[in-house]
């Protein structure tokens, strides 16, 4: 015989009955004419069936292995395809279709009541609001429970009734005849969309959905110390589900606006204070406002602090005021307020002022200036760049 049945099924000559059956099922799903849809699909499918019918029967296999003709035992005569597709012996064609299409087990009707989706909204905050916390109203465009039918979807207090098409099963089975037997496929019922029930008189407000779109306002409590990118999680404040199902969750993503005076670095605040050259040289005391001054009606700490400017202060000098930064979101306490001094050189001088400065230069032996080169590293200019939001 020219055909090697073992080679057709792709199994060794000592393959067990279980190996032969698995190889046959795998090939049958691959080359079935309804799946492959090629010109030689019928011939290939017939060939693997012939090989399977021979090798699955111990007597026929023994005759085949000894070089005999197993068809002399009756072969496929009057039996259709091997194993009686659609019959009781061997491999049932319905099982083949089930295997090819992921199984056709009854799924049953799906529920009209489902959980709603989660929702995300974004909320902008001022720096003081993020630092000290606040309760803010947030408007959310979402799905809410239908006020007319209370989620049932039916008008006038009605109830869903059993679908006459699928008789409440939620799915229908179609039977297609082929030369191999009956091919059965199951799909969601077109009459009820798989629910198993229909609503004869839908609610005019929600069209049977059990929910409607609406805007609502939620008061969101923002804890002290939040930053851009933080999210507030509000359970069960998202969209109400179809059929009046439970609501999803709401996430409020925060974004903090830039401040005109302060720059935030983690839990610390940074600010720049300009002082005249004479004040920097002689020393002075300056009063600066803290972030708490943005919330004068709340008891959030000192709205202003006094700083001593030592004589001879240079541009870029920084002092830290403990406990005047941002409250820590976790762990308690507050960061520092960093104050960087920027010494301003006068640009408009009258003749008397020029003469005074000229006299000062002579007394300090600075009439002729020899420049001093600043070594690389994080010095005055680096600190000033950081103070103004730049980069090294």
Model pLDDT for residues 279-300, shown as the tens digit of each residue: 999 999 999 999 999 998 888 8
Number of domains in the chain: 2
Q: Is residue 309 part of a domain?
A: yes
pLDDT score of 74 more than 60:
no
CATH number for the domain that contains residue 93: 1.10.287.110
Domain boundary among 65, 100, 135: 100
Q: Per the confidence metrics, is the pTM higher than 0.75?
A: no
Q: Is residue 282 part of a domain?
A: yes
Instruction: For 220-266, write each residue's pLDDT tens digit.
Output: 999 999 999 999 999 999 999 999 999 999 999 999 999 999 999 99
Q: Is residue 372 part of a domain?
A: yes
Q: Is residue 177 part of a domain?
A: no
Q: Is residue 19 part of a domain?
A: yes
At residue 78 the predicted structure's pLDDT band, cuts being 50, 70 and 90, is very low
> How many CA atoms lie less than 13 Å away from 152 in the CB half-sphere?
16
Alpha carbon distance 299, 278 (integer Å)? 36
Instruction: For 239-249, write each residue's pLDDT tens digit.
Output: 999 999 999 99
SS3 per-residue string spanning the chain: CCCCHHHHHCCCCCCCHHHHHHHHHHHHHHHCHHHHCCCCHHHHHHHHHHHHHHHCCHHHHHHHHCCCCHHHHCCCCCCCCCCCCCCCCCCCHHHHHHHHCCCCCCCCCCCCCCCCCCEEEEEEECHHHHHHCEEEEEEEEEEEECCCCCCCCEHHHCCCEECCCCCCCCEEEEEEEECCEEEEEEEECCCCCCCCEECCCECCCCCCCCEEEEEEEEEEEECCCCCCCCEEEECCCCCCEHHHECCCCEEEEEEECCCCCCEEECCEEEEEEEEEHHHHHHCEEEEEECHHHHCCCCCCCCCEEEEEECCCCCCCCEEEECCCCCECCCCCCECCEEEEEEEECCCCCCHHHHHHHHHHHHHCCCCCCCCCCCCCCCCHHHHHHHHCCCCC
- The number of beta carbons lying within 10 Å of the beta carbon of residue 335 is 21
Q: Which domain holds residue 328?
A: 263-387
Q: Is residue 223 part of a domain?
A: no
CATH number for the domain that contains residue 352: 2.60.260.20
Domain boundary among 100, 135, 155: 100
Instruction: For 45-69, write each residue's pLDDT tens digit.
Output: 888 888 888 898 888 888 888 777 7
Annotated binding site: 146, 149, 163, 166, 189, 192, 203, 206
Q: Is residue 213 part of a domain?
A: no
Domain boundary among 82, 100, 118: 100
Annotated binding site for Zn(2+): 146, 149, 163, 166, 189, 192, 203, 206
Instruction: For 102-154, write each residue's pLDDT tens digit.
Output: 444 446 788 889 999 999 999 999 999 999 999 999 999 999 999 999 999 99
């Amino acid at each position: 015989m020219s055909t090697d049945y073992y080679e057709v099924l792709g199994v060794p000559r000592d393959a067990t009955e279980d190996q032969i059956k698995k190889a046959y099922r795998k090939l049958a799903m691959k080359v079935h004419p309804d799946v492959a849809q090629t010109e030689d699909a019928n011939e290939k499918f017939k060939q693997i069936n012939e090989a399977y019918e021979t090798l699955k029967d111990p007597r026929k296999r023994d005759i085949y292995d000894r070089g005999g003709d197993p068809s002399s035992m009756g072969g496929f005569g009057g039996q259709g395809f091997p194993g009686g597709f659609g019959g009781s012996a061997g491999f049932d064609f319905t099982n083949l279709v089930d295997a090819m299409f992921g199984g056709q087990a009854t799924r049953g009707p799906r529920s009209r009541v489902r959980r709603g989706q989660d929702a995300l909204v974004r909320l902008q905050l001022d720096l003081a609001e993020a630092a000290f916390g606040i309760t803010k109203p947030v408007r959310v465009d979402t799905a809410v429970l239908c006020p007319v039918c209370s989620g049932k979807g039916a008008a006038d207090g009605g109830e869903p009734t059993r679908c006459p098409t699928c008789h409440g099963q939620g799915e229908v089975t179609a039977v297609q005849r082929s030369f191999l037997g009956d091919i059965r496929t199951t799909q969601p019922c077109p009459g009820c969309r798989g629910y198993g029930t229909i609503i004869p008189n839908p609610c005019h407000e929600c069209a049977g959905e059990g929910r409607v779109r609406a805007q609502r306002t939620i008061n969101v409590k923002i804890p002290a110390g939040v930053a851009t990118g933080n999210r507030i999680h509000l359970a069960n404040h998202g969209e109400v589900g179809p059929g009046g199902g439970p609501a999803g969750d709401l996430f409020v993503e925060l974004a903090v606006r830039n401040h005109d005076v302060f720059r935030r670095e983690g839990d610390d605040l940074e600010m720049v204070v300009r002082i005249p050259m004479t004040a920097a040289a002689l020393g002075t005391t300056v009063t600066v406002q803290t972030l708490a001054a943005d919330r004068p009606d709340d008891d959030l700490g000192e709205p202003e602090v006094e700083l001593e400017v030592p004589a001879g202060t240079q541009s870029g000098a920084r002092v830290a005021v403990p406990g005047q930064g941002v409250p820590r979101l976790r762990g308690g306490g507050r960061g520092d307020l960093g104050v960087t001094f920027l010494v301003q050189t006068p640009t408009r001088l009258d003749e008397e002022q020029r003469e005074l400065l000229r006299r000062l230069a002579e007394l300090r032996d600075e009439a002729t200036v020899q420049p001093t080169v600043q070594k690389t590293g994080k010095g005055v200019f680096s600190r000033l760049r950081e103070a103004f939001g730049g980069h090294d």
